[in-house]
Amino acid sequence: MKHFYERAQELQPELERARRQIHRFGGVGFDVRESAELIKAELRAMGLEPREICECGIVAKIGAGAPVFLLRADFDALPMEEQTGLPYAAQNGTCHACGHDFHAAMLLGAARLLKERESELGGTVKLMFQPAEETTVGAATMVDAGVLENPHVDAAFAIHIAAGLEHTRSGQVRYSRGAMYSAAEGFAVTVHGRGSHGALPHEAVDPISILARIVLNTQHILAYERPADEMLVISFGTLSAGTVGNVVPDSATARGSIRVFSPQVRELALRRFREIAEKTAETFDARAEVRYTPRKYPIDPVINNAALAEELLPYIADAAGAENVLLSDRPEAFGSEDFCCLSTRVPSVIVMLDAGSVSEGYTYPQHNPRVTFDERALPLGAAVHACAAFGWLERRKK
pLDDT in tens, 91-146: 999 999 999 999 999 999 999 999 999 999 999 999 999 999 999 999 999 999 99
**Over the stretch 252-268, which tens digit does the pLDDT of each residue have?**
999 999 999 988 999 99
Which contacts of 197-201 are long-range, i.e. CB under 8 A and separated by 24 or more positions?
A: 197/246, 197/247, 197/248, 198/245, 198/246, 198/247, 198/248, 199/246, 201/248
Q: Which segments of 249-351 does DSSP mark as H helices, in order?
A: 263-283, 306-320, 340-343
Cβ atoms of 335 and 260 within 8 Å: the answer is no
Average pLDDT over residues 61-86: 98
Cβ atoms of 73 and 39 within 8 Å: the answer is no
Q: Residue 398 has what pLDDT?
A: 64
CATH number of 183-292: 3.30.70.360
Report the sign of the C-alpha dihedral through residues 93, 137, 182, 100, in that order: negative
Q: Residue 299 has what pLDDT?
A: 87
**Over the stretch 179-212, which tens digit does the pLDDT of each residue have?**
999 998 999 999 999 999 999 999 999 999 999 9
3-state secondary structure (DSSP) of residue 290 = strand
> How far, in Å, CA of 5 to CA of 3, rounded?
5
**Over the stretch 96-107, which tens digit does the pLDDT of each residue have?**
999 999 999 999
Average pLDDT over residues 319-325: 97
> How far, in Å, CA of 106 to CA of 161, rounded?
10
Q: Do 2-180+301-395 and 183-292 show the same overall fold?
A: no
Question: What is the helix (H) or strand (E) element at residue 111, kind and residue range?
Answer: helix 100-116
Report the sign of the C-alpha dihedral through residues 255, 232, 292, 160, in that order: positive
Q: How many CB atoms lie within 10 A of CB 329?
A: 10
**Over the stretch 273-296, which tens digit does the pLDDT of each residue have?**
999 999 999 999 999 999 998 887
**Over the stretch 23-59, which tens digit does the pLDDT of each residue have?**
999 999 999 999 999 999 999 999 999 999 999 999 9
Look up the pTM and report it.
0.91
Average pLDDT over residues 157-161: 98
For the chain, the structural domain boundaries read 2-180+301-395, 183-292
Q: Residue 356 has what pLDDT?
A: 95
DSSP 194: B
Looking at CATH, the fold of the domain delimited by 2-180+301-395 is given as Aminopeptidase (3.40.630)
pLDDT surpassing 90 at residue 334: no
